[in-house]
A and B are shown apart, each in its own frame.
Chain A
Amino acid sequence: MSFTTGWKGPAPRRRLTIPMLLCLLMACGLGIGSEASAASGESQVQASKGEPQAQAKGEPRALLGALDTGSFQAKGDAAQAIAESGAEQKTRWLQALLDGRLGKERRGDRFYIVTDDSGREWPIIDAITFEDAGTGTRRTVDIFKINNELRTRIEGLLASLSLSAGNEASRLSAAQRLVGEVTADNADRVRGMRDDEESDAVRGQLDVALALYDLQQGDAEALDALRGNLDTRVRNALTPIAAGDSALAAEAQSVLDGIESKRAWYDRAQTLFFGLSAGSILVLAAIGLAITFGVMGVINMAHGELIMIGAYTTWLIQQALPGQPGLALALAIPGGFLVAGGFGVVIERTVIRFLKGRPLETLLATFGLSLVLQQLVRTVFSPLNRRVTSPEWLQGAWQINEALSLTLNRLGVLLFCLAVFAALWALMRYTRLGLEVRAVTQNRAMARAMGVRATRVDMLTFGLGAGVAGLAGVALSQLTNVGPNLGQGYIVDSFLVVVFGGVGNLWGTLVAGMSLGVINQVLQPWVGAVLAKIIVLVGVILFIQKRPQGIFAPKGRTS
């Protein structure tokens, strides 16, 4: 370890003092250590002198007392001793230690478990008898600290304690831990475990672990069991073996090549998924704009804020239904649509209606409106971000195999996007409103002559576009921060998608959004997020130069 000194004048003296201080500290550490061991020794002596009951009480005290040390190594050994002891409370102790809730009285020798560590006054119970011990604070209870390494070790200890319970999931996780960890010492035991094992999944994992061990002993036949295995630990173990130039190495190399090419395919699938998921966000954000901008020709700069309103609606519904994030999210889908759609109708009636045919003024007015809406949210809800919790079924990932896993929240948003798109498409295709909207788009004057109330259609169309923006907000609340600036990040992207896809064309928006998402995600690992975005932007500009109408040209006349 070296520490730099800012000021180079007295550096030599400082360098001398550091080792000295280290020595001093080590001496102190040793002092405390010996004191602690003396103390535990004393309690053992007392226990052996006392009655049997006292002995039973003294032992847990010594076990817990061993945790009271500054060294994480010693703490780990103490945890190991607890796991190996016969104490009944050991699982609960280890769990409390893992959760950071096991502690010692700061000026005394009682041990406590904190039952609820929120707030500044904690309810505590005695760690040995589990009797209520009133409340403690950080000033009175000294919590035993653990670090990452120790945490992994305790988790292992707890897992092996539950292994005897015989649950399949815990056996599987224990078997997974074994891959690459089989040595001459435990190989026979693992083989025995494998033969007794009933579950195929666990047996498969144990086979892999054993094959890897056999291979390291030079057994070429073990390679067959590893062929096509996607576990990165298998790949990492094969790499050094394949580096030699024996027959075994050549064989291992071919297995390794097979693994690598298989992994490469899954990597591509994963990138495609990332791209589609990023694209689905773009599509959701842009599709409302495709309706308002494409159909009505309104450049709505407040579109992003309508997205934000949808996200805040989700948050509000979640506040109203504490503890039920799934139900809240389900209710937020119609809720976000209606609230944002309502805002859209009001905006259309009060502002946009009066600026018809004046795009520049509409742009400025809606830009002002976006600032007003942002400030409104800041004043009403505070400028701080709000946290929207994801329901259980949108957390984590769907692990298809070792190389491919799809995060559930992204998958959910992708499916949601497709559902919204399908609903919107059906609405435009099969309902009377859709027919009227298409009629007004293609020829406003003719549609009015045929009895379509164009102003009403305008209002409903704008409301529909705003409502879909609200749906985008509901989806985004699961992926990003809900705050007053949420919408700003999406407005430029949305216009980009709509223009690229072809103004006024839903299919164009879908194809454009998805392809921009995929291109972006393919580029991102190579050139970084910032440059990827620039490249996409430049690409779209060049494309528009070549083909101003976008991917799909609108069939009718745009108004």
Chain B
Amino acid sequence: MTTTSLRKWIAGSSIVLGLAGFGSTALAQEAAQDQGPIRVGILHSLSGTMAISESTLKDEMLMLIDKQNEAGGLLGRQLEPVVMDPASDWSLYAEQARDMLTGDDRVDVIFGNWTSASRKAVLPVVEELDGLLFYPVQYEGEESSENIFYTGAAPNQQAIPAVDYLMSQGVERWALLGTDYVYPRTTNKILEAYLKANGVADDDIMVNYTPFGFSDWQSIVSQVKDFGSQGRKTAVVSTINGDANVPFYNELANQGISAGDIPVVAFSVGEQELTGIDTAPLVGHMAAWNYFMSVDSDANYDFIDDWVAYTGNDEAVTNDPMEAHYIGFNMWTQAVEKAGTTDVDAVKDSIIGVTVPNLSGGASTMMPNHHITKPVMIGEIQDDGQFSVVWQTPTTVAGDAWSDYLPESKNLISDWRAPLRCGKLDVESMTCEDGPGAD
């Protein structure tokens, strides 16, 4: 894989050099390309540890592209998917993104990535080669790129409303449990700052990190049980990722902690993850997302019907990142139609303000900071592996790239519209630290 991509890259760059020498050829090439299909890159791992979550997103993108082509394509041209497999290897993501964005078979847009680590690897590549990336997963924020559109939730679209909900349910003590990497650590830092700003004492917050794939939960769960039996309502906020969740929930059930005693609200557990767990002892534990498969709307039922028909699996589940891709893809097609071209700079400008229906019956808008507006929902786990929505924000919430609760980022905003064009603008000093507006 590495050698072929390197070879491709060399071939690609020599073609670019060659074209630069013969401007007229390049123009002819461009004209020819305008007639050919529009190329859509799909950069999701189809093997390795992330394959469980990411391979469904690849299938979903293929389904959306199929549907678009059946409806006549885009700008009168057909869409052509370009699928690559970065094999859960972060550096391979960057390499394959470079592959997609160079050469005469350059893609017009990329939909991809799951973990923050892989996004951080791809970010410099899409910025350097001026690509477009739609990133569909909830993440820790504190980032804004001119070339990335974040269709998943920022912390203020998931973590903060979830904590608000638990506070309204009378929770006073908080156990923040997470896997030891960048997303849980940043999210918990924001949550700690937010809780303290709301008058929660240091003693009432417990923070604990465990490695990926951790399974020896007995003493941590027992510690949480002890922490929660001090006579005041306690909740666990879980940013535990991946398959460590299964032994964690099993240990909760075995130690007899029910959702009535100490509810757990998780930010990384969705329908897909629950398919591997017996959910009967977990009924009532919660998850915060912007979409659940059980959401009651016709758009959602139609989407599920399409998905079941496409996969041919009656038990196929949908989840939040799938909705994010659905929204992202529709936003991109609308922006391309509005701009009349797939040119990256034109689409970047035209997509801001584009509003498309989401799957929960409302609509989502692309904001100038490249995040979108979404409703926030709290779902409780049911015995059939689905969530039942028990609370929802009355309106959609706009994603905040820079958290207001961290001292180092509270004055920062991001606005990619002209004339500001800045990803990291200090509103107090009005200085731009990152982006073309900085010059």
Contact = CB atoms under 8 A, between A and B. Distances in A.
Interface of A: 1-9, 14, 17-18, 21-22, 25, 72, 99-100, 117-120, 138-139, 142-143, 145-149, 151-152, 155, 232-233, 236-237, 239, 270-271, 274, 277-278, 281, 383-385, 387, 389, 395-397, 399, 405, 407-410, 479-481, 483, 485, 489, 521, 524-525, 528-530, 533
Residue of A3, A14, A146 with most partner-chain B CB within 10 A? A3
A485 B213 contact: yes
Given A4-B160, A9-B415, A479 B246 contact: no
Nearest to B396: A3
B154 A147 contact: no
Contacts of B214: 529
5 contacts: A148-B284, A239-B231, A407-B255, A521-B218, A530-B211
Dominant SS at the A interface?
mixed
Residue of A396, A409, A529 with most partner-chain B CB within 10 A? A529
B47 interface: yes
Given A6-B401, A100-B388, A521-B219, A385 B208 contact: no
A7 B219 contact: no
B363 interface: no
Interface of B: 47-49, 51-52, 154, 156, 160-161, 164, 168-169, 180, 208-211, 213-216, 218-220, 222-223, 229-231, 243, 246-247, 251, 253-256, 259-260, 263, 276-278, 283-284, 286, 294, 296, 301, 308, 314-315, 367-369, 371, 380, 382-384, 388-391, 393-395, 397-401, 404, 413-415, 427
Nearest to B246: A481
A143 B243 CA distance: 31
B390 A274 contact: no
A8 B164 contact: no
A21 B229 contact: no
Dominant SS at the B interface?
loop
A408 B254 contact: yes
A529 B211 contact: yes
Contact of A17 (B216, B314, B395, B401): B395
Contacts of B283: 151
B394 A530 contact: no
B220 A524 contact: yes
A322 to B, nearest CB: 14
B245 to A, nearest CB: 9
Contacts of B222: 270, 274
Nearest to A378: B47
Contacts of A3: 156, 160-161, 393, 395, 397
Contacts of B395: 3, 17-18, 21
A397 B220 CA distance: 16
Given A6-B154, A529-B209, A72 B161 contact: no
A547 B208 CA distance: 35
Given A1-B168, A481-B215, A528-B208, A395 B394 contact: no
Contact of A147 (B367, B380, B384, B400): B380
A212 to B, nearest CB: 13
Given A6-B398, A145-B388, A383-B47, A481 B247 contact: yes
A6 B352 CA distance: 14
B218 A407 contact: yes
Contact of B384 (A21, A117, A278, A387): A117
Contacts of A237: 231
B135 to A, nearest CB: 15
B278 A389 contact: yes
Nearest to A476: B215
B394 A22 contact: yes
Contacts of A22: 394
A396 B219 contact: no
A525 B219 contact: yes
Contacts of B383: 99-100
B398 A7 contact: yes
Nearest to A143: B388
Given A18-B394, A25-B394, A480-B247, A6 B427 contact: no
A409 to B, nearest CB: 6
Contact of B400 (A5, A18, A489, A530): A5
Instruction: Name the 4 nearest CB pairs between A and B, nearest first.
Output: A236-B231, A6-B400, A480-B215, A232-B229
A14 B156 CA distance: 15
Given A5-B400, A232-B229, 9 more contacts: A4-B156, A7-B400, A25-B394, A72-B390, A148-B390, A152-B260, A236-B229, A521-B218, A528-B210
A119 B160 CA distance: 34
Given A396-B254, A521-B219, A530-B209, A148 B380 contact: yes
Given A6-B156, A524-B219, A407 B254 contact: yes
A489 B213 contact: yes
Nearest to A383: B51
A270 B218 CA distance: 10
Contacts of B394: 18, 21-22, 25
Nearest to A23: B394
A497 B41 CA distance: 48
A385 B314 contact: no
A278 B218 contact: yes
B164 A1 contact: yes
Contacts of B51: 383
B256 A396 contact: yes
B218 A277 contact: yes
B108 to A, nearest CB: 26
Contact of A387 (B47, B260, B278, B314): B278
A206 B177 CA distance: 37
B218 A525 contact: no
Contact of B389 (A6, A21, A145, A383): A145
Nearest to A24: B394
Contacts of A408: 254
Contacts of A397: 254-256
Contacts of A120: 308, 314
Contacts of B247: 479-481
Contacts of B384: 117-118
A140 to B, nearest CB: 11
Contact of A6 (B208, B218, B371): B371
Given A3-B397, A17-B395, A25-B394, A481 B388 contact: no
